[in-house]
Amino acid sequence: MNLEAKSVSGRETRYFCVWEAKPLQLRMLKLSFLLIILLISTAAVPVFSADRYRREDFPPGFIFGAAYEDGRSSSIWDAFAHEGNEHGDTGDVAIDEYHKYKEDVQIMAQTGLDAYRFSISWSRLIPNGRGPVNPKGLQYYNHFVNELIAHGIQPHALLCNYDHPQALEDEYGGWISRKIVKDFTAYADVCFREFGDRVSHWTTVNEPNEAMTRGWHQLNDVLLHLYLTARKATLHLSPTWQLTICCWHTHQLQDYTEKRISLYIFRSIPLTNLTADVAANQRAQDFLTGWIADPLMFGDYPSTMKRNVGSRLPEFTNHESKLVKGSFDFIGLIHYNYLYVEDNSVSLKEKNRDFNRDMGVKLYCMLLITNTRLFEIRPRDLQQILENFKSAYGNPPIYIQENGQKTRRGSSLEDPSRVKYLHAYIGSVLDAIRNGSNTRGYFVWSLWDGLELLDGYESSYGLYYVDLDDPDLKRYPKLSAHWYSHFLKGRGVSLDGIIELEKNLSGVSKDASFSRMISM
């Protein structure tokens, strides 16, 4: 990854991290089967959405929740972390939801959550990837789901967060082999059979597009070969993997209902208003979002992909196309950041091409270089994404499955930047709903500070701080936890309230003082 400085549309010079056509230099922003949505817009300063709103302003049945993903036994992420790829951090204990689930569910209930989104660890439930089910793992998830329901919290379960058992990675390379379909189907059947009577909302796979285009390039030597060139049959794996996942997802939906696929969707804007950049932006959308979304919606890849990739892109049979089309109940979206797109169509003339060269673009993940590395507050981006899905894909039911602000871990329990971020983005969801978007839920990322992929414990997204130096791993609410709780319990929130919070940081640790600072 390289940093480049560019002047955008006459504005001040900003720094960009550039994704070029060298896979070893690619950097995964976040993994999680969600098309990841990094939105792009042209606003130069933060623009807030609905300024003042209450919980009751959202439609009946709209769900507010939080998310966290916990793993177990020996998975590919354990191997990845133990190789030193998480700043030396590992998830061997992490925040230990396994032993603290009763306490954690009580905190969720006190916060006022409608729902909690969690991942089921394949390696915890079936340690070897196939064969006998681990009775202790089964017992844990049954107890956890029952505890959520007993406290009035709706469980939302994720089956695949790319933490498949290391044994299957060693045996046949994991998701690059069609062999995984049978093993994963058996694992999913166990989950649906054991928990399906109480869990009605399932996500099959997390961020397939993000994992395919960047994340897997860093995991091992085999996966570094995904989709690098047209000349060697061994390098045709990434597109095949996508088709495998779509077909597996469809197979599950034939037998069970109320499932969604989760997408980290890159919404992009042209770097300039030049015709070439505008066309490049559409190509980027086709590759980054359409690669997964179009087969699910229309039964086939975008025409741009078929034209640019040609015979290297595996085809759906007529039967597969009919099965895949419409094979979802909901779409899950993840959004944090945004991209600019610049034309690089000259790359389409090259003999050997990778994913970026097939797009014919350069992608710029614009990061303002600051001490805290905060995400810019650009709520119109999320609103625009939701409205684009409404117009391009027939307004499917959508859940925002991850959205949140990044700060430095342990910096403070007083996190007004996260409060401002959540206020703005929840307001943008309300604006999109008022404009007709079929959005049905919003999950904050994340409930707890925990181990972040590639960041380890360096960064923080949680509403609650977890003291890793405390043997009991005690949880402490941040300002954002108080804010979210007050909103969920029916208190009105406004931008004035957020400004007031910043001026009164000395008193934000107590509920009483906090409640006086927000708009009632």
Above 80 in pLDDT, residue 367? no
Please state, in angstroms and rounded to a whole number, the distance separating the CA atoms of residues 470 and 447. Answer: 19
Q: Which of 69, 169, 207, 320 is catalytic?
A: 207
What are phi and psi for residue 447, nearest 5 degrees? -70, -40
pLDDT bin (cut points 50, 70, 90) of residue 433 is very high
User: How are beta strands 475-477 and 52-53 bridged, if at all?
Assistant: unpaired
For 300: left if phi > 0, alpha if psi spans -120 to 50, otherwise beta; the answer is beta
pLDDT (0 to 100) of residue 278: 98
What mean pLDDT comes out for the span 191-196? 93
Q: Which residue has the higher pLDDT, 427 or 492?
A: 427
- Confidence at 211, pLDDT banded by 50, 70, 90: low
| Poorest-pLDDT segment among 40-49, 99-108, 412-421 | 40-49
Statement: residue 436 has pLDDT above 80? yes
Please write down the long-range contacts of 309-315, taking CB distance under 8 Å and 24 or more positions apart. Answer: 309/239, 309/358, 310/230, 312/227, 312/230, 312/236, 312/239, 313/239, 314/236, 314/239, 314/240, 314/243
The boundaries of the domain holding residue 148 are: 2-517
How would you classify residue 317: left for phi > 0, otherwise alpha for psi between -120 and 50, otherwise beta? beta
Q: In the chain, how many H helices and how many E strands?
A: 18, 20
Q: Are 518 and 493 in contact (CB under 8 A)?
A: yes
d(CA 65, CA 114): 6
Position with higher pLDDT, 449 vs 512: 449
pLDDT band at 173 (very low <50, low <70, confident <90, very high): confident
Q: Which band of pLDDT confidence, cut at 50, 70 and 90, is reported for residue 404?
A: very high
- Residue 384 host element (H or E): helix 379-392
Query: Where residue 478 falls among pLDDT bands split at 50, 70, 90?
Result: very high
pLDDT of 140 strictly over 70: yes
Kindly state the average pLDDT of the residues 463-467: 95
Sequence-distant (≥ 6) Cβ neighbours of residue 454 within 8 angstroms? 27, 28, 30, 85, 86
Confirm if 465 and 449 have CB atoms less than 8 A apart.
Answer: yes
Average pLDDT along the chain: 76
Q: How confident is the model at residue 317 (pLDDT cuts 50, 70, 90)?
A: confident
* Beta strand pairing call for 459-460 and 407-408: antiparallel
Question: In terms of C-beta density within 10 A (0-12 exposed, 13-18 middle, 19 or more buried), how is residue 153 classed?
Answer: buried
pTM of the model: 0.81
More confident site: 138 or 321: 138
CB 165, CB 74: distance < 8 Å = yes
Q: How many CB atoms lie within 10 A of CB 455?
A: 18
Each residue of 494-508: pLDDT tens digit? Answer: 766 654 445 444 333
d(CA 421, CA 493): 13
Mention every residue, 6+ apart, whose C-beta is less than 8 A from residue 434.
none
Mutual orientation of helices 97-111 and 479-488 as an angle, nearest 10°? 50
Residue showing tokens 């099965």: 323
* CATH code of the domain covering residue 367: 3.20.20.80
pLDDT band at 411 (very low <50, low <70, confident <90, very high): confident
Q: What percent of the chain has pLDDT over 90?
A: 45
Decide if 207 is catalytic.
yes
The stretch 359-363 carries a mean pLDDT of 94
- Token pair 């380890």 is at which residue? 456
pLDDT tens-digit readout, 50-63: 788 999 999 999 99
Order of all β-strands in the sheet with 13-19: 2-7, 13-19, 361-366, 339-343, 268-270
Total number of domains in the chain? 1
Spot the catalytic one: 342, 402, 414, 452: 402
User: What was the pLDDT predicted at 49?
Assistant: 61
